[in-house]
Structure formats: C-alpha cells, structure tokens
Chains A and B, each alone.
Chain A
Amino acid sequence: MTQPSQQNEILAERTAEVEEPIAGIEDIREAKGLSQGQIVRKRFFGHTGALMGLVAFAFIFLLAFTSVGWAGIPGWWKYNHVDVAPLINDGAPTLTLTSIGEHPFGQDRIGRDLFAMTMRGAQQSITVMFIIGLIAGLIGVVVGALSGYFRGWLEAVLMRITDIIIIVPALLLAAVVSQIAGRRDSGSWFSAFAVDNGTVVLGVFLGFVVWVGLARLVRGEFLSLREREFVDAARISGSSNARIIFKHILPNAIGVVIVNVTLTMSSAILLETSLSYLGVGVKSPDTSLGLLISQNQEAFSTRPWLFWWPGLFIVAICLCINFIGDGLRDAFDPRQKKFNAKKAVSSGPGAAPVTAADTAKGA
C-alpha cells in the first residue's frame, strides 16, 4: 500500500461522503420509522454469513430431530442408535452422490448404524446447548441485573459468588454430577431421574456454571444504564424497581444478552462434547458426538468414517451458531454499521466504514 493511493482513498472517501451516502453502509434515514426490533431484524437478514448459518442450522436441527425421532416419537429413519444390523461391506459408508444407500454414514464394528448414532448425538448436543443457553441466560440476567441495579451489599455478595464459581473448574462439577447420576443403585429420586435423562441433567448443571460471564456483562450494562436520564424519569414518575429493571433497562441491554447467550451456546457445544469425550458427560448406552469420537478414535486407520462424521457435525453445528452470533452482534451493535460487500465493491474505494457519530453528523 503506497502513500499516494492511500491519499486517493481518503479523497475518494471525502467526495463520497459529500455527494452520496457511504457505499455499503446503511443510511440512517432508511432506519427512520422502524422500531428497534425491525432494524435489528433487517440488519440480521442482510448479513449473508448469519443467514447461511441459520439455514444450515435449521437443516441440521430438522435432520437430527426428525430422522431418528425424539422423546418417544418415531422418526423416518429405519434404524435407531442402538439397533444392530448385519455388517454390509465391512461397514463402509454407502452414501454416494446419487443415493444414500443402506447405511449412508457407515456402521461401527458391531453393526450399529452411524447415521442414527450421529443424529442421536447431534440431538443431545443441540438439547444441551439450548438448556445451557436458557438456564445460563436466566441466571446471568437476574444476577447481573440485581447486582448492577441495586449495588451495595447485594452486588458485593453476588459478585463474590460469581468470582468463586468462575475459578471452580467446570470439569470437576461435571465429574461430580456424572458420579452422582451414575449411582443407579443408590435409589435417590435424583439418580433415578438422571439415569434416564443424563443429557438434561448435564445441561442443567453446566447452565448453573457458565452463567458467570454473562452476569458480569449484564452488570456492566446495568451500571451504565441506571445512570441515564430515562431511568431517573421513570423513577420520578413512580415506577417500581421491578418495572424499571424489566421495562426500562433490560430492553436496552437485550443486545448484549442475546449475543452473549448465543456465543455461550456455541462454547457450550464444545464443552459438552469435551466432557463426553473425557467420559464425564453423556454416558453409554446413550450416545453423544463427543462420546462417539472418543469411542472410535483408536479405529481411525481402519474405520475413519466413525471418526469423521461425528466430528464434522460438531464443527458444523458450532460454526452455524458462531455465524449466527456474529450476525446478531453486527445487528445489535449500533457502532458497527450494516455492511453490504457487493454494494461496497461496486462503488470503489469509498468503502471505509464510518462511525455512527460521523453518519449522524452527516444526516
């Protein structure tokens, strides 16, 4: 990048600013008359990566939940994750470009269908992900909101609890939960429940651990928002604390919450698969993507498909969620203007982004 071309760029940017709205950047006047939700939706659906992530995720979701069935409802696939069928062609995948065949993803050593097992594992991962997102989101928002709004001793207590949970290793908690859930014979109601719903228990407990990051962020948002004029106005007009928190402050912090819940969910998938891989997550005879990899990594040289498919599904789910999260962040963040690469490329070098302040001044 030589100096003259840089100066040309700046000049070009200047002219672009004077004559027309900056290429690729949403003009602020377009947003007039739209509610916050409408603006966010518009920006999100203009984000190619996020849209592709959303479509791909919906596809994986439907495939996983309809194929092998869920919660007792039968699916359209002929096998489930425990059925044993005779080995066909030593279990090699039958998936080709034209047909899916008998066992599209292949079979394992004893003849179980890998497609069914992978779908079951994907179901488990997605379930855990949503449970973690829900619980972590709820606890994180409540703790963050209470400590950020009320301050004082409540904040001190809640934040110290947060600090303690942050440094307790999640692995240890998972190990404890899996130990307790594994004691089938002890007869307590909890272990009886956990034997049948290992995934749910795992998700709930991880949710109780990973809310801490969100709580800190929400607290930060509340600390700055509670000093704003509209909060004073609400208080003077006699609103209760609950009303101020839920009706006035929380809608303003919702962007941070949604974006971070999404990112927590993407890391939750990796956490669940890692724990299952280490043997403290989902246990056999039920299956999970991490468990499938850990069971089959020794067979990589003989049956590589047993290792590839579950791994590809972990990566695909996580990638989708990450792209959706990125799109949400762009949609909610007012400092990052919506960007359309095609428009920017077609109108030359004026594509340097401007800050919100710049655009506001220009408008």
Chain B
Amino acid sequence: MTPLALNRRNLLIAGGSVLASGVLAAGTSGLLLPARAEGLTPTESMTGGANNYRKGAPIVERIGKGGFWMSGTVRRAGDGAPLAGQRIQIWAHTVEGQEHEPQSHGATLTDKDGAFRLEMPQIIPIFGQPHGHLAYDSGEFKTVFLRPIMRSAKDTSLKAHFVLQPA
C-alpha cells in the first residue's frame, strides 16, 4: 500500500484541479446555453420602458446637439440573425429637454449587421435613476420597450440590445 502523502504540493495540486474543473464546468455551460434547442430567447419589455413614449418620432441624424451615444443591436429570436433596417426609437430626459417633450425623441435604423447608434444630448438622472428609453414598435415583430440604466450619471454612452420575435 502506498502511503498517502499529505504535503503542501499535493494539496495545492488537488485544490487547483478541483477549482479548474469547477471553472471549466461553469464556463462550458455558459457557452452552450445559447445553442440549446429553443435558441436565443426574445427580449422582454422592461417595466416602465414605455413611459412617455411618443409614437412615430422622426428618423434623425442626431437628437438635438448630441454629445451622448446610445447604441445596441437588433437580432432575431431563435437563430440570433442580425436584423437590418429596423427602426429603433430613443428618448430620455437630457440636458436639452424632458422625457415627454418632442425634441427629446428621435429614431434611427439598424445597419446590415443589425447594429444601431444614435447621438443624443447627455442623459441626466431623473426620477432617481439616470436612464434612457428605447422602443421597437414597427409591427413586423412584437413590440419591445427597454429602459436601460447608466452605471454612473457621468457616463456618456449607453447600450441596449433587442432580440425580437415575430408578432
């Protein structure tokens, strides 16, 4: 019988391998998740996302004088294919106006990679949180309203992603 040597080196190796297998397991399950049979799940509307929405804001080069970037992607539920030419409407309380005011609203279209990017005035915290609003509301897919929150009120950009399902 070989005596079990309980020294520091053996313990470190054993501990390390346990840790590594744990990390590996967590990592692979995370990687495998989107490839499951049901595919990419659609984005749910966020509570309060539709607040102060004005339907049909014009497509603009830039909202107001700009200085802040709202960006994100639009993909199809299931296979995750990028959706080009989708209209995304954006609004927020900014240095140039309150949330409900028309000049605070604008829309843009996604490019061939399903990405959108619209310059707008700096968002400022209102109702206790610095946040923006985005809407997909064009009919082809189910309507989605998002209300992302900025990590810091000093941030000069914000991202939001849509995964849409057929209406």
A binds B: no
B: residues with CB less than 8 A from A are none
A: residues with CB less than 8 A from B are none
